[in-house]
A and B are shown apart, each in its own frame.
Chain A
Amino acid sequence: MLSRVADSIYWLNRYVERAENVARFVDVNLNLLLDTPVTGFTEQWEPVMMTTGDKTLFQERYDEASAQNVLQFLTFDQEYPNSILSCVKSARENARAVRETISSEMWEQVNTFYLWVQEAAQAGTTEEHLYRFYPEVKMASHLFAGVMDATMAHNEGWHFGQLGRLLERADKTARILDVKYYILLPAVTDIGTPLDDLQWIALLKSASAYEMYRKRQRRVTPRSIAQFLLLDPEFPRSIQFSLLQAERSLHRITGTTLGSWSHDSERTLGRLRSELEYTTMDEVFESGLHEFLDKLQTQLNTVGEHIYEDFMAVPLAS
């Protein structure tokens, strides 16, 4: 497979997954705010900004983290490369460059997705409409993944796509879990109160994890929620699950047996996955959840860099 084509399929999937997860961030906050006491407490949009890691970009162009500004920035801002609109546009550009490799159905889905988001951007969507908009972004992304799974041969290109999607998902689940770190409770004494619980439940819901969590755990506690999103081996949005599947795709691409490595990308991803496998929640909380997630994101970036070097940046001469 052409290196350029592998790169485009990888990014096509990363961008679709990214758009979906931006919708998840925003959605969790919109829902949290509905449950927050109205009096004496201002809307918090700062935490969502913090988790994107692009706070500086935001501050360069907007004066305050008001609901309107943050929503515009994350959803429809054309200048911001990680807004939903920009992500879907980049996904489509990548798809357009490999239309002959992916299935027609995949192209149609990503093209329709883009035309729809663009129309919403131009229509000047009101905040009320946005409550419906974000769930639909999630559905469009699921639809794309489903169409890809059911119409494209599960060949090398497909595995590059999976790799892109799963690494992006692992990164974003880490960030969603991190949102809670930045959200302030009205008072320290509110920790462990119904309000605190509500926030944790909203967080689970934003990862589509609430129902699956309930089947495993009876009580809502920060520890078991973190454990579920980090380490659950069966839930498809948990970091552990995403890395395990990403590693399988990577080994299908290279042909190296699992448990060994021939490329740096295999080595770094394999190490990260097994480290996580043998981590206990005590260790996570000992180092601090936020710090743990931060380190994890850095390691994921390293894996991404190695994938680029191993497969995309093929040198000129043999």
Chain B
Amino acid sequence: MPCLDGYDPGDFFDELFMAAGTPRPAAAELVKRIESLSIEELQRRQQAAQNMLFKLGVTFNVYSDNQGTERIFPFDVIPRFVPYQEWELLERGLKQRIEALNCFIHDIYNDQKILNDKVIPREMIESATGFLEPCMGLQPPQKIWCHITGTDLIKDRDGSWYVLEDNLRCPSGVSYVLENRRVMKSSFPRFFDALDIQPVDDYASKLLDTLLNLAPSNLSDPCVVVLTPGIHNSAYFEHSFLAQQMGAQLVEGRDLVVTDGYLQMRTTKGLRQVDVIYRRIDDDFIDPMAFRADSMLGVSGLMEVYRQGRVAIANAPGTGVADDKMIYAYVPQMIRYYLNEEQLLPNVPTYLCADDKQREYVLAHLDELVVKATDASGGYGMLMGLHATEPERAAFAEKIKAKPRNYIAQPTLSLSRVPTLIDGQFEGCHVDLRPFILNGQDIYVNPGGLTRVALRRGSLVVNSSQGGGSKDTWVVKESSC
């Protein structure tokens, strides 16, 4: 019996099946290939793939785990499938969004036209925790603020795509995209010669180009470094991996020092100047002199060197303001204001609790909405109204009333599903998608992105910190199928 025979896509948008037993036309070849293998064989390869990831050390650290042990991000061998035609739309939509967001960030830290024209209320910006006063007046090289972005997308029940949230500060996950692909190639080489799957491997080269683009043009051999909080950070593997793939130096705050007005690193032959930093620490930890005084991760005096244009930082400090979920809600207005275009890739409808009318609606419909804290990420600080108990909802209502600015609400979406191998059978599991976008000389979107999958039955939460796993994402040109 073919292994996908009993699979029921259920009342959801399934990425591989239109109905039980009927694959989507674009995915038919893939389904055929999967079914040429027995379930035992698939399980064996799944296990081998996980072992490979473990040996490669493709792991993340768990903050709450005192052992300091690393875990692999659980990996499922059934790929997530994106037809090329849909991908083209996503790519255009993402480029448009990043361009508008970059204009917005530059504007609010400089002329504030969008506030003066009252397109976005001034108090929304000034009350955002990610808005950093010391960044006012900054002019980053080529006016680029968000060089690296990971935008979370989801597909609803009717098959249409939405942007769920923006991650402009220091989005992680791209190393899993690259390593998952490597593991899939060695586990299922025969799938790759039959399908026209868009390669992802040039990400590191594009990232290095993006960073070199920031260095002063008079330098022949600029020094690019990746700044990590250190080996105990949950994304340390990725920091190290990207540095390695780019041939850049991986540094910690303690390796760096500001001397004679320049940023320098401590080497075995004395101090050496640093020209470009790809920073993987949050905005407020970058420089204890400018932001959080208790930060042990950053470099004292770095912001002044940056302001003088003697070092470039990606992403620019202050970029985090656009991660605020309230500001997310204004992206359609930004696109209209800066680009004079209509949004190609829609937002999820969003209710702002700061608005009296909208808040009233939210409080009356808590049992069907998802409420999120505007300054949180990673699946923390949210209420899934549909699954919460009455006391949980009541408690959350109090929080909203106390600090309306801190919350937004969205309808409970029915995330699309992909067959996933769990305990020797296929189950439909909900997925989202985080493509990675680089903003340098032009805007580049790595084809595919990180597909995160909710491995707990029925769960909609895909975050790695909350029991999620990942899949390889295949953008497939259909002509070849």
Q: Which residues of A pack against B, CB within 8 Å?
A: 1-6, 93, 96-101, 104, 107-108, 111-112, 115, 156, 160, 253, 311-312, 314, 316-318
Residue contact A6 to B268, C-beta cutoff 8 Å = yes
B38 interfacial by beta-carbon distance below 8 Å:
no
Among the stretches B237-245, B319-327, B440-448, the one at the interface with A is: B237-245
In the complex, chain B residues whose CB is within 8 Å of the CB of A6: 268
Residue contact A314 to B267, C-beta cutoff 8 Å = yes
Among the stretches B80-88, B246-254, B303-311, B336-344, the one at the interface with A is: B246-254
Closest B residue by C-beta to A255: B269
Residue contact B267 to A2, C-beta cutoff 8 Å = yes
Q: What's the minimum C-beta distance from A311 to chain B, rounded to whole angstroms?
A: 4
Residue contact A2 to B57, C-beta cutoff 8 Å = no
Q: Pick 10 A–B contacts, CB within 8 A, sort by A.
A: A1-B268, A2-B268, A3-B255, A93-B231, A96-B57, A99-B241, A100-B226, A100-B243, A100-B248, A111-B57
Residue contact A4 to B254, C-beta cutoff 8 Å = yes
Q: What's the minimum C-beta distance from B27 to chain A, rounded to whole angstroms?
A: 33
Residue contact A318 to B255, C-beta cutoff 8 Å = no
- Determine chain B's interface SS by DSSP, over half rule: mixed
Residue contact B55 to A318, C-beta cutoff 8 Å = no
Residue contact A108 to B56, C-beta cutoff 8 Å = yes
Complex Cα distance, B55 from A108, in Å, reads: 6
Residue contact A316 to B252, C-beta cutoff 8 Å = no
B264 interfacial by beta-carbon distance below 8 Å:
yes
- CB < 8 Å: which of A4, A99, A112, A314 contacts B252? A4
Residue contact B267 to A318, C-beta cutoff 8 Å = no
Complex Cα distance, B241 from A98, in Å, reads: 10
**Interface members, chain B 188-241 (any A CB < 8 Å):** 226, 230-231, 236-237, 240-241
Closest A residue by C-beta to B243: A100
- CB < 8 Å: which of B56, B226, B270 contacts A318? B270
Closest B residue by C-beta to A92: B57
B293 interfacial by beta-carbon distance below 8 Å:
no
Known: A2-B255, A4-B252, A317-B259. Is A99-B57 also a contact (CB below 8 A)?
yes
Known: A108-B56, A318-B259. Is A97-B231 also a contact (CB below 8 A)?
yes
Known: A2-B267, A93-B231, A112-B55. Is A100-B250 also a contact (CB below 8 A)?
yes
Give the size range of B's interface with the partner: 20 to 34
Residue contact B267 to A1, C-beta cutoff 8 Å = yes
7 shortest interchain CB distances as A-B pairs: A100-B244, A100-B243, A99-B240, A314-B266, A311-B268, A100-B250, A100-B240
Residue contact B255 to A100, C-beta cutoff 8 Å = no
Residue contact B55 to A3, C-beta cutoff 8 Å = no
- CB < 8 Å: which of B244, B249, B252, B268 contacts A253? B268
Residue contact A2 to B265, C-beta cutoff 8 Å = yes
Q: What's the minimum C-beta distance from B313 to chain A, rounded to whole angstroms?
A: 19
B168 interfacial by beta-carbon distance below 8 Å:
no
In the complex, chain B residues whose CB is within 8 Å of the CB of A98: 250
Known: A111-B55, A318-B259, A318-B260. Is A3-B266 also a contact (CB below 8 A)?
yes
Residue contact B244 to A99, C-beta cutoff 8 Å = yes
Closest A residue by C-beta to B252: A4
Complex Cα distance, B252 from A20, in Å, reads: 31
Known: A99-B244, A108-B55. Is A3-B231 also a contact (CB below 8 A)?
no
Q: What's the minimum C-beta distance from A112 to chain B, rounded to whole angstroms?
A: 6
Complex Cα distance, B245 from A101, in Å, reads: 10
In the complex, chain B residues whose CB is within 8 Å of the CB of A311: 268
**Interface members, chain B 425-440 (any A CB < 8 Å):** none
In the complex, chain A residues whose CB is within 8 Å of the CB of B248: 100
In the complex, chain B residues whose CB is within 8 Å of the CB of A312: 268
Complex Cα distance, B249 from A1, in Å, reads: 9
Complex Cα distance, B54 from A107, in Å, reads: 12
For the complex with contacts A93-B231, A314-B267, 7 further pairs of A-B residues with Cβ separation under 8 Å are A2-B266, A96-B240, A100-B226, A100-B248, A100-B249, A160-B268, A314-B270
Residue contact A3 to B267, C-beta cutoff 8 Å = yes
Q: What's the minimum C-beta distance from B227 to chain A, rounded to whole angstroms?
A: 12
Residue contact A3 to B57, C-beta cutoff 8 Å = no
- CB < 8 Å: which of A3, A101, A115, A318 contacts B264? A318
B450 interfacial by beta-carbon distance below 8 Å:
no
Known: A96-B231, A100-B241, A318-B260. Is A107-B57 also a contact (CB below 8 A)?
yes
Complex Cα distance, B57 from A115, in Å, reads: 11
Q: What's the minimum C-beta distance from A105 to chain B, rounded to whole angstroms?
A: 11
B257 interfacial by beta-carbon distance below 8 Å:
yes
Residue contact A4 to B255, C-beta cutoff 8 Å = yes
Complex Cα distance, B265 from A317, in Å, reads: 11
In the complex, chain A residues whose CB is within 8 Å of the CB of B394: none
Q: What's the minimum C-beta distance from A21 to chain B, rounded to whole angstroms?
A: 26
**Interface members, chain B 250-309 (any A CB < 8 Å):** 250-252, 254-255, 257, 259-260, 264-271
Complex Cα distance, B57 from A97, in Å, reads: 12
Known: A100-B243, A100-B250. Is A3-B268 also a contact (CB below 8 A)?
yes
In the complex, chain B residues whose CB is within 8 Å of the CB of A107: 57
Complex Cα distance, B267 from A5, in Å, reads: 9
Q: What's the minimum C-beta distance from B339 to chain A, rounded to whole angstroms?
A: 38
Complex Cα distance, B86 from A13, in Å, reads: 51
In the complex, chain B residues whose CB is within 8 Å of the CB of A99: 57, 237, 240-241, 244
Q: What's the minimum C-beta distance from A163 to chain B, rounded to whole angstroms?
A: 11
Residue contact A2 to B249, C-beta cutoff 8 Å = yes
Closest A residue by C-beta to B269: A1
Complex Cα distance, B237 from A195, in Å, reads: 54
In the complex, chain B residues whose CB is within 8 Å of the CB of A156: 268
Q: What's the minimum C-beta distance from B258 to chain A, rounded to whole angstroms?
A: 10
Q: What's the minimum C-beta distance from B49 to chain A, rounded to whole angstroms?
A: 16
In the complex, chain B residues whose CB is within 8 Å of the CB of A314: 266-268, 270-271
Q: What's the minimum C-beta distance from A317 to chain B, rounded to whole angstroms?
A: 6
Known: A1-B267, A6-B268, A311-B268. Is A316-B255 also a contact (CB below 8 A)?
no
Q: What's the minimum C-beta distance from B366 to chain A, rounded to whole angstroms?
A: 45
Complex Cα distance, B230 from A56, in Å, reads: 34
**Interface members, chain B 5-60 (any A CB < 8 Å):** 54-57
Complex Cα distance, B271 from A112, in Å, reads: 35
Complex Cα distance, B179 from A108, in Å, reads: 14
Closest A residue by C-beta to B52: A108
Complex Cα distance, B250 from A317, in Å, reads: 21
Complex Cα distance, B267 from A156, in Å, reads: 11
